[in-house]
Each structure stands twice: as C-alpha cells, then as structure tokens.
Structure 1
Amino acid sequence: MIPFSLLDYVALFWYITFWLCFSWVVDHSRLKHHNLSHLMNGHRLRWMRNMSTRDLRMVDTAIISGLQNGTAFFASTSLLAIGGGFAMLNSTERAIQLFSDLSIPVETTRALWEVKVLFLILIYVYAFFKFGWAYRLFNYSSILIGALPYAKTADEQELEIAIRQAAEFNSLAGKHFNLGLRSFFFSLALFGWFVHPGLLIVTTTFVGLVLIRRQYFSRSQTLSMHLLPEKE
C-alpha cells in the first residue's frame, strides 16, 4: 500500500486535472482558434502557398531541416531524462538521507519516492513518443514539400490539394511537438511533489498560468494574430 496522504491525492488530482483541462482548452475547445499554436497553422498554410511559387526551394528545405533538428534534440533529451529517472530510482536511499539532512522538513518514504520517480519517468516516455512521431511527421512533410507542384504550370485544383496536404502534415507535426514540449513543462511542476504535495499544487498552477499566458496573452500571440492572412 502506497502511503499517500489525503493532500497527496488532492495535489495529484489537481495536477492531472489541470493538465487535461489545459490540453482540452488549447487543442479542442472553441478557444483554440485564438491560441498561438493554432494561429501558426495559418502561417504554415501561407508558407506552403508562397513555396508553390518558388522554383528553387532550398530555403524551405532548410526550414524543415531546422524543425527536424529541434525535434530530434528534444527526443534525445527525453531519453536522457528517462535515464536520469532510473538513476534516481537507483539512488533512493541516498535521496531519502539527503532530504532528512535538510533544514526544510520533507517527509518521504522509499515507496513514496519510487512512485513519484516512476510517474516522472512515464511523463518523459510519453514526451519521447510525441517527439519521435513529430520527427517522423516532419520527415513526411519534407517529402510533400518536394512533391509540391510548381504554381505556374500545375493544375489549380491539384495545386490546392497539394498545398493543403503539406500544410496539414506540417501542422500535425507541430501539434505533436507541442504535446511533447508541454509534457516537459508539466514535468517541471511535478518536482514540487518531491518536496511537499502542497508545493505541487503551487507549481502546477504556476506552470499552467505561464503556458496560458504564452498561448493567449503573449506578444508573440498578438503578432501572429495581427499578421495572419484573411481566411478565404
């Protein structure tokens, strides 16, 4: 039996609920049309339209390469974080001793510590799968960019289908990348649980508010909205 206190259950419930509610608002609710991630999808479509008028597309392939490299970096970081989590499991006794030596009162047991670390590892495993799939989707997107016909010689209907297909793949890759990155942000909040369940509530709220601000009230969101081309 895991020695969770009532406050542990409350804090864990708040953590999971806040994460799920934030994801629903950003990815599925009507408010998604106003967040930064969704607005950038419109610019991805504009990018594909502009690219179709270029005969030489070295700039576009360089952009895709940069997106892939960034995704690969975070996928590698996820693997390192998973390894670090197992190292934390291997150092349970040392960690408990370290907490007991602190002047700040931190109550923990071996079972409680191991459950918290395993929960953290699961988050990084989820992030790795999201980054890995995003990398693959960016690879598919690069293929669609190569297959995009030249606007001056292509059939209009065929060109429109190809543009939207490439933009959708690129947007989908960006979505999975954002999900992986979101996992990283919320994993930082989970470290508060190692100190005290009440601190987990505070760190979860803080991280959530930071992400909400960046998606809906940041300068980058305002610029993306004002510069977005009109819908057809």
Structure 2
Amino acid sequence: MPVTAYDWINIGAAIWLFAAWTGYARFARHRARTDHCLASVLHIYRKSWMIEMLGRQNRIADTALIASLERNVSFLASTAILIIAGLITIMASIDKVYLTISALPFANESMSPRQLQLKVILLLLIYVYAFFTLTWAMRQYGFCAILFGAAPAHDAQIDDEDRRRYAISTAKIIDQAGHSYNYGLRAYYFSLAVLPWFFNTWLFISAVAIVVGVLYRREFRSSTLQALLREIKQRETTETHADS
C-alpha cells in the first residue's frame, strides 16, 4: 500500500512521542544535578533513613516499609501484564475493534484498520517496557531487603565511617529501585497520551506535550517537593544551631 500524507503525519507523531519521552528523561537527569527535584531530595531522605536504620535494634518497621514499596511496584507490574493481555486480544480482532471505534463520536474517519493496528502495537510496546522496568524495580527492592538482613547490628563494633558507607550504599540501591519505578510510571503516563491518537493525531501530539508538562511540574515545581525541601532546610538549621 502506498504511504499517504496521513501516514507521514502519524509517523511524525510517533517520532514526537519518543523524542519527548527520551528528551524529558535526559533533561530530568541533567537538571537533577543542578536543581532540586523529587529524586534528588528523596535521596537525602533515603540516606537519613538508612543511617537511622543502622542505629535501631528493632528493624521490623524498616523491612515493612520496603515491603510496602515493593507491593506498590508489584501492583503496577501486574496491571501492565493484564493490559498487555488485553491489547493482544485486541490485535486478534482488530477489524471488530475498528468498527467499534468508527461508530464512536469524533472518530477519526481517515484512520484505516492497519493504522489502528500499528497504534495498538505501539501501546503494547510501551506496556512491555513498563513491565520490564517495574519488575526490575521489584528485584532491586528485594536486594534492599537482603541488605537489611546483612546490615550490622546497632551495637556492632565497627567504625562509624564503615557504618555510614554501608548506609549510603543501601540508600543508593533504594534510589536505583525508585528510578526504575519512576521510569515505569512515566510509561503509564505516556501510554495515556496515546489514547487520543485513536481519535485525532493533533490531539495526541498535544497530549504528549501536556504529559511532559505534568511530569516537569510534579518533579521540579510541585508543592510536595517544596514541603520536602522545607523539612530538609529546617533540619539543617537545627543542626547548625546545635553545633554552635
């Protein structure tokens, strides 16, 4: 079949999706080195958490927190599997799905069954990526549980520097698990941006831009971030007064 102008617009829209997705991921990593964001601030809290954990005799609460984080990731990974199964089912009956979508208000009359199939495949690939990323986050939280079990006792005769080094290393693993979880969440966000594509290509392009804006605001300009920063600054002020 010859490639139409509408096909080229859709190809450009797909390129725009991946350019916005990967571009924002690169921007967020670079910006986090010079500006506060949720990831960088949470790293400070994770280090503080691990230092406090090593000083506690009873660490049941700490292991419960890790288990809770792992359950959150597990829920999204399980959901991704269900969505993948549903998308595969749609692929098997694409003609019926096409007729159903065509009957909806504001349906895109220029879309062919082949184009619909390609859009479903794109969604399928996004959720496959989300599944692999989220399951990797689950494994890393499992590694954290092992590190908790191997952590030195609160009264162990070890240097403070060794204790701090162990705490920072454990916090780094939790950080990596958090990053993988974040990547999986972004896949969910961008998959929702694909849904308007079934009705209008330009609406899809706008939805991708809106998702990027939402991600930026939540990670770099949210009220939650400001609250976390205020707490850190308050701790620093208290420690400064105590030292003086």
TM-score under structure 2 length normalisation: 0.88
* One-letter amino acid of the structure 2 residue matched with residue 15 of structure 1: L
8 A contact 1:32–1:38 mirrored in 2: no
Equivalent residue runs for 1:99-110 within 5 Å:
99-106=101-108, 107-110=110-113
Inter-partner Cα distance in structure 2 for 1:32 and 1:80: 39
Equivalent residue runs for 1:27-176 within 5 Å:
27-30=29-32, 33-106=35-108, 107-153=110-156, 154-176=158-180
Shift of 1:155: 2.0
CA distances 1:130-182 after superposition (whole Å, capped 9, x unpaired): 11110000000111112222344332232122111110111111110110111
The answer to whether residue 182 in structure 2 is matched with residue 182 in structure 1 is: no
* One-letter amino acid of the structure 1 residue matched with residue 166 of structure 2: A
* One-letter amino acid of the structure 2 residue matched with residue 144 of structure 1: L
Shift of 1:10: 2.7
Root mean square deviation, CA, Å:
1.8
Moved more, 1-10 or 47-56: 1-10
Could you say what secondary structure the match of 2:56 adopts?
coil
* One-letter amino acid of the structure 1 residue matched with residue 114 of structure 2: A
Could you say what secondary structure the match of 1:108 adopts?
coil
The answer to whether residue 23 in structure 2 is matched with residue 14 in structure 1 is: no
Q: Where does the alignment leave 5 or more consecutive residues of structure 2 unmatched?
A: 237-244
* One-letter amino acid of the structure 1 residue matched with residue 145 of structure 2: S
Inter-partner Cα distance in structure 2 for 1:115 and 1:169: 37
> How has the CA–CA distance of structure 1 residues 95 and 140 changed in structure 2, closer, same or farther, with 3 Å as cutoff?
same
User: Equivalent of 1:202, from 193, 206, 210?
Assistant: 206
- What percentage of aligned pairs have identical amino acids? 30
8 A contact 1:193–1:199 mirrored in 2: yes
Q: Where does the alignment leave 5 or more consecutive residues of structure 1 unmatched?
A: none
Inter-partner Cα distance in structure 2 for 1:143 and 1:102: 52
> How has the CA–CA distance of structure 1 residues 147 and 118 changed in structure 2, closer, same or farther, with 3 Å as cutoff?
same
> How has the CA–CA distance of structure 1 residues 32 and 130 changed in structure 2, closer, same or farther, with 3 Å as cutoff?
farther
8 A contact 1:127–1:181 mirrored in 2: yes
Moved more, 157-166 or 25-34: 25-34
Inter-partner Cα distance in structure 2 for 1:145 and 1:28: 31
8 A contact 2:32–2:39 mirrored in 1: no
- The equivalent of 1:216 in structure 2 is 220
Shift of 1:32: 6.4
Inter-partner Cα distance in structure 2 for 1:51 and 1:110: 56
* One-letter amino acid of the structure 1 residue matched with residue 90 of structure 2: M
* One-letter amino acid of the structure 2 residue matched with residue 194 of structure 1: F
8 A contact 1:25–1:31 mirrored in 2: no
Moved more, 130-139 or 16-25: 16-25
Inter-partner Cα distance in structure 2 for 1:5 and 1:32: 41
* One-letter amino acid of the structure 2 residue matched with residue 6 of structure 1: W
Shift of 1:9: 2.6
> How has the CA–CA distance of structure 1 residues 22 and 165 changed in structure 2, closer, same or farther, with 3 Å as cutoff?
same
Larger Rg, first or second structure (1 or 2): 2
TM-score under structure 1 length normalisation: 0.92
Inter-partner Cα distance in structure 1 for 2:130 and 2:60: 31
